[in-house]
Structure 1
Amino acid sequence: EAELNHLYRRQLDWAVTPISGTEFSVVFPDSVSHGYATRSDQITLALNKLVVDISEPILDPKAVAVLDTAWILIASLPDIARSERVIRQM
């Protein structure tokens, strides 16, 4: 967040979320700042001299940021729907 605030010269909440050890998800506050960052393949962040790749995710980052396992109880299914294939399709 400090690098992005320095780059854009304004204090914003970038909603930076770590995805893996070297990958982060960032929510840009508007289309102008998003376009500025994704115009080049790589940019150098000045504070720590980091060279980073910025790319758009294929999936919605909010939808896949945290996936938890959940159990769902399904009751009163007709016999024809009591197969794993049918339940997975639901």
Structure 2
Amino acid sequence: EAELNHLYRRQWDWQATLTTNGAFSVVFPDALSHGYATRSDQITLALNKLVVDISEPILDPKAVAVLDTAWILVAGLPDIARSERVIRNM
């Protein structure tokens, strides 16, 4: 968040959320700021000399940020649907 505030020279609650190992989801203040960041392939952030790639998310970041591992009991499936592949696709 400090790096992004330095890059844009403004204070903004970026709502930075760790999504995967080394990847973060952030909320940009407007479309112009988002477009500025995604035009380049990689950006070097000045404060810590971090080289980052800012890109469009493949999945909805709000949905991904809150996902946790959970066990679900599924009962009453027909025999044809009782395979790991079918269950994962569900």
TM over 0.5: yes
For residues 7-66 of structure 1, what are the alpha-carbon distances to aligned partners after superposition, in whole Å with 9 as ceiling and x for unaligned?
Answer: 000000001001223111111111010000001010010000111111111111001112
Give the % identical residues: 74
Code of the residue aligned with 2:57 in structure 1: it is P
TM-score, structure 1 normalization: 0.75
> Are 2:37 and 1:43 equivalent residues in the alignment?
no
Structure 1: state its 5+ residue gaps: 73-81
CA RMSD of the aligned region, Å? Answer: 2.3
Q: 1:83 aligns with which of 63, 77, 83?
A: 77
SS of residue in 2 equivalent to 1:64: helix
Aligned length: 81
Structure 1's consecutive aligned runs of 4 or more residues displaced over 6 angstroms after TM superposition are none
TM-score, structure 2 normalization: 0.75
d(CA) in 2 for partners of 1:9, 1:18: 23
> Are 2:30 and 1:30 equivalent residues in the alignment?
yes
The answer for the alignment partner of 2:16 in structure 1 is 16
